[in-house]
Structure 1
Amino acid sequence: MAASTAAAGKLVLRNKCILLGNAGVGKSAITQMFHSDGTQYPKTYAMTIHSEVCVKVVNIPDTSVTVEMFLYDLAGHEVFQEHLPRYCEGAASFMLVYDVTNMDSFKNLTKWLQIARRGKAGKASQGVLLANKIDQTSRRVVPSAMGEDFAKAQGLAYFECSAANNVDVDAPFYFLSNALHESFEETLRMFVKGGEAAS
C-alpha cells in the first residue's frame, strides 16, 4: 500500500490487487467488466499470458480519499505458474476466483492461496473469495455453502458474481478498497497514538 496527496487535499491510496484462479474461471472478464463499468464483456476467450494489468480509481464514500486499484489478472495455465509468485510480491490485496460450474476450479483454491502467500500477498493482505458464473444455475456444481466454508476457514470475505450478466462484479473490489482505507486509517491512528505517548 502506498499513499500520496493530490490536488485539493485529496488522499490517494494505491492498492495492488492480484487475481488468481484456474484458467477459464473468468478472471479477465471480471477485471474488464469492473474496469469498464460493465460495458466491455469479452466475447471470446483469450488466454492470459503471465499477467494483464489495468488501473481503476475507486472513491471511498463520505471521504476525500480515492483508491487506485492496480489489478493484476494473473495467468491460470500451469505453464505460466512458476512465474506467478513474483507478480504477487507487494500486493496489498488478492482475489481467489473459481467457477461454480467447475468443481476442479474450486478444489484448486488451496494451491492458488499458497501461491499468493509464497509471493508475500497472503496473511499480511486482505483477501476475498469470488464465485463466478452464478447465472449458470442449471450447471452449478459448487454450492454457496462450500464457498462460504472455505472462505471462513481461510479468513477471506466471500462474494458471488456473474461477469457475463454484470451481476455483483463491483462488490468485491469495493470491499477491498474500503478494507485498504480502513487499514490505512487504523495505522494512522496507531501512529498518532504512539506519538502522543512518546511526548
Structure 2
Amino acid sequence: MDEYKLVVVGDSKVGKTTLTITFVEEFGSIVEDSYLKKCVVDDKLASLSILETTGEEDFDCTAVLYMHAGEGFLLVYSITDRNSFEEIPKLHKQICRVKDSDEFPVILVGNKADLENERVVSYSEGENLAAQMKMKYVESSAKHKVHVDKAFHDLVREIRRSKKP
C-alpha cells in the first residue's frame, strides 16, 4: 500500500478542518494534529497522513515543518472571503521556498460552495488562478460533502503522477 503525506493549507476560517474531517470521518482516525485515512484511489489502496496548518503560516514553525514533509498540498480558500483567495499566491510562494522547488503536487480548492448567495470570488476567478499557477481547481462544500473526496483523490493522483519516472 502506498503512503502519502498531504498538507491542507489556507487562511484561517476557510473550512480546512471541516474539509479534512469530512474526508476522514468514515474509516479514518485522528492522532494529535494528524488525520489518517486509508482509501482506494483508481483501484489502488492508499494510506493518507493529512496534516492541517493553522492559517497563521507566517508565524508557525509547525506549518513550515508540515510543508517540508508534505508530498502534496491542498491550497484552500473560501469563495465567501476575497482576502483568503488573495492569500493563495503568497501561501504557494511560501511552500515553494520551504520545498526549494516550484513544482510539487498541489490542488486549489475553493471551499464553502454551499454559500453561493455569499460568493465574492467567482468560479472563473478560481479557475483562472489555478491555470495561472499550473494546478487543478476544485470547488467544494465540506458542509454538504460535495467534491471533498474529489479534492483529496485528485491530489493523490497528482502525487502519483509526479513520482512516475
Query: Any gaps of 5 or more consecutive residues in structure 1?
Result: 1-11, 39-50, 188-199
The offset of 1:17, in angstroms, is 0.8
| Aligned counterpart, 1:27 | 16
Whether the aligned pair in 1 keeps the contact of 2:57 and 2:63 (CA below 8 Å) is no
The offset of 1:125, in angstroms, is 2.0
Query: Any gaps of 5 or more consecutive residues in structure 2?
Result: none
| Aligned counterpart, 1:179 | 158
The structure with more radius of gyration: 1
Over the matched positions of the two proteins, sequence identity in percent amounts to 27
CA distance in 1, matches of 2:16, 2:147: 14
1:129 to 2:101 alignment: no
TM-score (norm 1): 0.74
CA distance in 2, matches of 1:95, 1:102: 17
CA distance in 2, matches of 1:127, 1:121: 15
Alpha-carbon distance change, 15 to 142 in structure 1, aligned in 2, over 3 angstroms: same
The offset of 1:78, in angstroms, is 6.0
Whether the aligned pair in 2 keeps the contact of 1:94 and 1:121 (CA below 8 Å) is no
CA distance in 1, matches of 2:101, 2:128: 18
| Aligned counterpart, 2:7 | 18
The Cα offsets for residues 21-53 of structure 1, whole Å up to 9 and x where unpaired, read as 110000000000000149xxxxxxxxxxxx821
CA distance in 1, matches of 2:67, 2:100: 6
2:124 is aligned with what amino acid?
A
| Aligned counterpart, 1:58 | 39
1:108 to 2:87 alignment: yes
CA distance in 1, matches of 2:104, 2:6: 10
Q: Which has the higher contact order (CA 8 A, sep 6+)?
A: 2
TM-score (norm 2): 0.88
The Cα offsets for residues 86-111 of structure 1, whole Å up to 9 and x where unpaired, read as 22113110010000000000011111
- The runs of at least 4 consecutive aligned structure 1 residues that moved more than 4 Å come to none
Q: Give the 5 Å matches for 1:86-97.
A: 86-97=65-76
1:111 is aligned with what amino acid?
K
Helix, strand or coil: the match of 2:144? coil
Alpha-carbon distance change, 79 to 180 in structure 1, aligned in 2, over 3 angstroms: closer
